[in-house]
Amino acid sequence: MGQVVGVIGSVIAGGAVIVRSFLLFLVGLALMGMARASADLGRFAAAEVHLPEKRGRAISNVVLGGTIGSVVGPLLVGPTGLWSLKVGFPEMAGPYSVGLLFWGVAGILVFIGLRPDPRDVGRELARLNPHTVPHLGRTRTLREILQQPGVIVAIVTVVFAQMVMITLMVMTSVHMKVHHHPLTAVSLVISAHTLGMYAFSIISGRLTDRWGRGQMIILGTVLLILSCLMAVPSTSLLPLAMALFLLGLGWNFAYVAGSTLLADQLSPEERAKTQGFNDLLLGFGAAAGSFGSGVIFAASGYGALGLVAASATLVPLGLGLWWQMHGRLAPSVP
C-alpha cells in the first residue's frame, strides 16, 4: 500500500509541475512522504524475521539499501530532466518519473516476493523461541510500553540522532555558500555525509550484535558530538567534509542500535503500533531539527548551531551510558 501511494504521489507531483499548481504539488509530496514512511518501517520487518543475535545485521542491511538510492537517485535527475524536455514537459517534471517507476517496481516485488509475511514469521519465531520474546502472550498498551526503560532509551536515541543529524546537515550547504564555496564543493561535502550515513551499515549491524546495543549507542552519540564540535570552527572544504562524514556515521551507529534495541523490547503483537509511533516521533524530530536549524543559523550563525546540536546529543549519550551500566540488567515491568 505504501508503494502504491508513492506511485500516486509521484504522478500528482509531476503533473503539478506540468500544470504549475503549487497546492497540487504539496499534495503529491505529502503522499510521497507517506510512501517513504512505509519504506522506513521495512527495517523493523527485517528485524522481525530474525532472532535477537542477528537483528542488528538485518536492520543494517535494510539501511544499507539507502546507499544505492542516495547514489543512483541524484544521477537520474539530469537524464530524466532532459527526457522531460524532449517530450515537451518542464525539466523538473522528469525526476518524478523515477519515483513512479521505482515505487511501482518495489510494490510489485513486495507483493509477489515478500512471502510468508514477516508478521507471520515473527509470530512463529516467538512461538518456537519464547525465551527471546518479552511479554509473550500478553499485549501491553502503548502507554505501558512507553514506560519501559529500554523503549525510552531506544526511542530517544533514534529521535535525537535524526534531529541532530538534520539540524547540522541542512544548514551546512547554506554555511558553505556564505563562505563562497562552489556548488561542486557543497556536493562533495554532502556526498561525504551520505557516505557516512549508509556505506558502513554492514559494520554497524555486526557491531550492534557483537558489542551490544548500549555500546553502539554510546559510540554513535560520541561521534555525533565530535562531528558537531568539528563543524563549529570549520569554513574550509576538508574539515567540513570530515565533520559531515562523522555526522553521518554517528547517525548510522545510533540509528541502527536504537532501532535494534526497540525491536528487542517488544512481542510480535506490540511491534507494529510501537514502531509506527517511534517513526512518527522520528518525523517530528526531523521537522523540528530542520525548522530550528534555520532559526538558530539566522540568529547566531553556524557555530552556535553546532554547539546546540552537540548539547542536544548529550541526552541520548546519557541514556546510553545508563542503559549500558544499569538498564539492560534490570527486569522489565510485566
Output the CA torsion sign for 229, 231, 236, 240.
positive
pLDDT at 34: 92
If pLDDT is split at 50, 70 and 90, which confidence band does 136 have?
A: low
What SS3 string covers the chain?
A: CHHHHHHHHHHHHHHHHHHCCHHHHHHHHHHHHHHHHHHHCHHHHHHHCCCHHHHHHHHHHHHHHHHHHHHHHHHHHHHHHHHHHHCCCCHHHCCHHHHHHHHHHHHHHHHHHCCCCHHHHHHHHHHHCHHHCCCCCCCCCHHHHCCCHHHHHHHHHHHHHHHHHHHHHHHHHHHHHHCCCCHHHHHHHHHHHHHHHHCCHHHHHHHHHHHCHHHHHHHHHHHHHHHHHHHCCCCCHHHHHHHHHHHHHHHHHHHHHHHHHHHHCCCHHHHHHHHHHHHHHHHHHHHHHHHHHHHHHHHHCHHHHHHHHHHHHHHHHHHHHHHHHCHHHCCCCC
pTM (predicted TM-score): 0.83
Cell 558502513: give the residue: 200
- For the chain, give the mean pLDDT: 90
End-to-end, the C-alpha distance of the chain in Å comes to 35
Question: CA-CA distance, 160 to 191, in Å (whole number)?
Answer: 22
User: How far is residue 183 from each of residues 59, 109, 174, measured CA to CA in Å?
Assistant: 34, 37, 11
Question: CA-CA distance, 306 to 225, in Å (whole number)?
Answer: 9
Q: Is the pLDDT of residue 166 over 50?
A: yes
The type of residue at 54 is K
Is the distance from CB of 321 to CB of 195 less than 8 angstroms? no
Question: CA-CA distance, 113 to 107, in Å (whole number)?
Answer: 10
Q: Is the pLDDT of residue 331 over 90?
A: no
Question: CA-CA distance, 72 to 222, in Å (whole number)?
Answer: 30
Lowest mean pLDDT segment, chosen from 15-19, 29-33, 63-67, 286-290: 63-67
Q: Is the pLDDT of residue 132 over 80?
A: no
Q: Could you read off the pLDDT of 235-258 as tens digits, one per residue?
A: 899 999 999 999 999 999 999 999
Sequence length of the chain is 334
Q: Which domains does the chain have, with CATH numbers?
A: 1-133 (no CATH), 143-329 (1.20.1250.20)
CA dihedral 164, 147, 330, 43 (to 10 degrees): -50
pLDDT at 127: 85
Q: Could you read off the pLDDT of 5-43 as tens digits, one per residue?
A: 999 999 999 999 999 999 999 999 999 999 988 888 888
